[in-house]
Amino acid sequence: MHMPRRSYAIWWNEGNGPKHVGKLEIARPHALLSGNGPRRLAVLLADITSIEYRRGEVLIDRRGTTGLRIGSLDAPGTLLELAHSLNS
């Protein structure tokens, strides 16, 4: 089934790594994170083991790799929508 692409303005980091600013696009079967620089990350949605909204961040655990922290640069409520979209 075709799903429209959804895009969110975010910051993210993997584990204790540096923060990156850019956008997250959900385009099944991946969530694609990209920034102004060369950093890009494709997260296979099937590899996500848990998604938690906590203290203004979305925490994502992934199978076999480092977890992600995501924060919003968009309007209030965007992170809850993002967490729900990743869970769907």
Single out the residue of 11, 5, 9 nearest to residue 68, CA to CA.
11
pLDDT at position 28, please?
Answer: 84
Instruction: Report residue 62 as tokens.
Output: 């992934």
Query: What is the DSSP secondary structure assignment for residue 18, as one 8-state letter?
Result: -
* Predicted model pTM: 0.86
Percent helix / strand / coil, the chain, rounded to 5: 15, 50, 35
Banded model confidence at residue 38, pLDDT cuts 50, 70, 90:
confident
How would residue 5 be classed by pLDDT, with cut points 50, 70 and 90? low
